[in-house]
Copies of this chain bind each other. A is one copy, B any other.
Amino acid sequence: VTDFVFDAAREARIGLPEAVYAEGKSVAQLAAILADATAHGRSLLLTRLDAAKRTQLDAPLDYDALSRTAYFGTPRPLAGPARVAVVSAGTSDAPVAHEAARTLRFHGEDVRIVGDVGVAGLWRLLARVDELRAMPVLIVAAGMDAALPSVVAGLVGGAIVAVPTSVGYGVAAGGRAALDALLASCAPGLAVVNIDNGYGAACAALRILNAPR
């Protein structure tokens, strides 16, 4: 039922094991992939797994509905205190922020979650600047005008991975306005990933933390 060929050497090559992007895969295809993982004794991270498919999958999964992620098998143990902060502007950005957080924890990196600090109420962000300044990497998720990452980048010196979200309507719908605002940011050194790509932001953070020195 599937052509899936697990890229088993990927972790050795680039430090990141292959994950399973569940959107567009059938339940039968996913079941075959999990069976293959069982046979080879591999743990797996699944992303974009909606609740209906999870119910149909007869497999032991640590499933999180908000982020639509699942852990199959055992995640890597947490290496120590959080080195990544996941910052988001509003409650609607939570699914993306939590996809990033769950991805990081699966790979053994704890995270600090800092939610609902959008710039319309700037005091909420300013109250937490010291905390954010201490973090090596910040993932900042924001939709609509995506002003938050620009403001954060003017306040802290850590590496920043900005994730535009598809939250909003009218010109904001789909996230292109947020994406373009982030790419055009007046604050220096923002690095950007695809719209709603919490998983990719986490991978970028892992590359930064685990890069050769």
Chain A residues in the interface with B (C-beta under 8 A): 2-5, 7, 9-10, 13-16, 18-19, 21, 23-25, 29, 48, 88-92, 94, 115-116, 118-124, 133-137, 144-147, 150-151, 153-161, 164, 166-197, 199-200, 203-204, 206-208, 210-213
Contacts and interface: CB of A to CB of B under 8 A. Distances in A.
Given A146-B145, A192-B191, A194-B172, A186 B118 contact: yes
A191 B145 CA distance: 14
A45 to B, nearest CB: 11
Contacts of A124: 5, 7
Given A122-B154, A136-B213, A178 B186 contact: no
A5 to B, nearest CB: 5
B188 A16 contact: yes
A195 B171 contact: yes
Contact of A188 (B122, B168, B191, B200): B200
Contact of A145 (B25, B182, B189, B207): B182
Contacts of A159: 159, 204, 207-208, 211
B203 A147 contact: no
Most buried by B among A10, A116, A174, A188: A188
Number of copies of this protein chain within its complex: 8
A195 B183 CA distance: 8
B200 A190 contact: yes
Given A4-B116, A159-B204, A10 B121 contact: yes
A188 B23 CA distance: 16
Counting from the closest, the 8 A-B pairs by CB-CB distance are A170-B195, A189-B203, A191-B191, A3-B115, A177-B180, A172-B184, A147-B147, A7-B121
Given A134-B212, A147-B181, A177-B184, 4 more contacts: A7-B120, A14-B189, A147-B147, A159-B211
B150 A187 contact: no
Contacts of A156: 13-14
